[in-house]
Amino acid sequence: MSTHRTAGQAQHPAATPTDHPSWDPARLPDQTGRTHVVTGATAGIGYFAAEQLAAAGAHVVLASRSAAKLATAVASIEREVPGARLDTVVVDLASLASVADAAERISALPRLDGLLLNGASMSMKRRATTSDGLPLLLGTHVAANAALLAGTLPALADSGRRHGAARVVHTSTGFVEQFPMSVDDVRRTPATAIAAYVKAKTVTEVFAFELARRLEAADVPVASLVTRPGVGVDARTPHRAGIRDRSTTYRPNPYTPWAQGKDGAAWSAVRALTDPEARNGQYYAPAGRLRGAPVRVEPTARTATPDGDLAARVWAQVEELAVTALTIPALTIPARTIPAKVSAAVPVQE
């Protein structure tokens, strides 16, 4: 029996991954029996990540703010992937109350193998805020994701113990490497919206790698990984009714000649969720930086191994913004049913 399922996404020219020559984004490891939650799943990268995971056999839970858009996304995936196993959760990342409710519903799933933290506002209105009064980019990219993770981490850990290491995948951007940002004061808002976005993603990376260290230290079977999508543009994105067609907004992009579609931009996150060889603390990105097959890359030292106690201080500030303590679950495993030691580095079992 084949251990791969055809994902069915559009193909784009891509470099061969250097760390896993046999990795093929169109033939993902079989995800039958696994459950993955994808935020921001009604458009762009999040939608195509959900579609690709469903095509590989996963039970996919699409999470987004609009129930109507979730219904459109489900209908589109069902057309592309007959028999897809899908559910939806409405969550407004600009409201911590909504995030808490979504975390409760996600945690009630029979199992939870992967959480892709992809959704967040891309509004460039500098003075925009969340319903909790946080700057919109900081609130949705950082506080909301931390709160959602805090509410679902026990469920991820439980699934990891029962089925092999679960995963949380944090979405970042190549701008973090290109434009160093100070994160000593997480709440301080930069003067421009793009700088605020880069700072939010810098905080995301620092937090994600600190999470990886804490999970490893506690021997919790959950892996924390980081990805960046490269550049995905509408002009190269395949048609999907209600997702990418004449009824949806077309956004021109000057990088189009060197970019990929948003289906290809989803590959790095999908690999981080599904590659049996992916490990806690790793980073995945397109081989060609702007586009290409997903490969493992070295993370930026500024975020992966920051000086002194910066990571701990960022962690504490993020918890304050999220109005919750992100507690690493204690490892308690019944000796008769599960091996005595389960590491977050254990690959997902087929």
What three-state secondary structure class fits 272?
Answer: helix
Given a contact cutoff of 8 angstroms between Cβ atoms, the answer to whether 121 and 140 are in contact is yes
Residue spans of alpha helices (H) in the chain: 44-55, 67-80, 96-107, 136-138, 144-163, 175-178, 193-217, 262-265, 267-274, 301-304, 310-322
Residues 3, 56: Cα–Cα separation, whole Å: 10
Tell me which amino acid residue 328 is.
I
Q: 106-142: string of b/e by CB count within 10 Å (b at 16+)?
A: beebebbbbbbbbbbbeeeebeeebebebbbbbbbbb
Residue 197 annotated to the active site = yes
Q: Which of 197, 250, 255, 284 is catalytic?
A: 197
Residues 142, 199: Cα–Cα separation, whole Å: 10
Tell me which amino acid residue 342 is.
V
Tokens coding 208? 């994600």
Closest to 168 in 3D by CA, of 177, 159, 176: 159
Q: 60-86: string of b/e by CB count within 10 Å (b at 16+)?
A: bbbbbbeeebbebbbebbeebbeebeb
> Is residue 265 classed exposed, middle or buried when 0-12, 13-18 and 19+ CB atoms within 10 A define those classes?
buried
> CA 285, 289, 292, 296: dihedral to nearest 10 degrees?
-30
Which residues are marked as active site? 197
